[in-house]
Structure 1
């Protein structure tokens, strides 16, 4: 077995991989949450595949490459979790990061459904998941703006300027329609409503 690239010789093949990593090797990033493979806090990579280390015996990983959160290379995932404020108590985050890194190795530009599927085995009791999902999405596109600092629209502050300009145009159209009388008002009003609907649909 190799753990984070280093060959190791576990003393007890019947021990849980989680216990060996934490107690023998001092790799405490993987946490025991449920001990039943339900929460994902103990997630590590076994030959590149996310597994719950609380369910894996050391002997089952005898010839495998085990990667814990401590052994992950630096990547946009860690930065995105911090910058996107996706970390609160931190208990689940090591497992989340491991799962996210495995996902981006397989799918560098994942869909939302792929992100949801990759993290469905990782439970978080603090964040409500929104910030975590945004962090993974940001990590897959590291040149995009940080969603924590520009949360309102995909295009950022410039979109707000466009919206204000559109609102000003609508106000002028209503004033002009009022001066033209009932017939003009209905025609102008119809056009303004259509523009407004398109704006919200794009947003």
Structure 2
């Protein structure tokens, strides 16, 4: 058999890259917001304990920033090899974002704990409540972005990833993992 390369419609590819660029820009902005909010959680710590001290805003934000950078680099790259690698990295970061259930849980724990003015929130429970509410919102939007990204990469793999051919296992494994973890918690 000869290696038959699929003809990729350039307009369709550009439309999909534009969609990924928008998602990546949103992810990058949310990541910066999340890191700033995570730092502010520590600034207003005032003797707080876990879950306030988990730093969830910082490390979740760093994952979102990486997701955003991968997508933007893929979009603006003119080298096909670099674009292929960064598109694969963007897809992998989508899976990592989806698997970060702990970030969502820790943010909800912090929100609930601080809204009840628990001593674990230190001397600034109102500020901690607001900051954790922002982190919860960021994680919800991050999950939405990761689902949209995984779905786009998977459904349009013939356009975005013609080198994949019939590889579909990774996205389905991620979906199953996320559902099982959500049910377990």
Interval of TM-score (by shorter of Structure 1 and Structure 2):
under 0.3
Question: Which structure: greater helix fraction?
Answer: 2
Question: Which structure: greater strand fraction?
Answer: 1
Q: Which has the higher contact order (CA 8 A, sep 6+)?
A: 2
Q: TM-score, normalised by structure 2?
A: 0.24
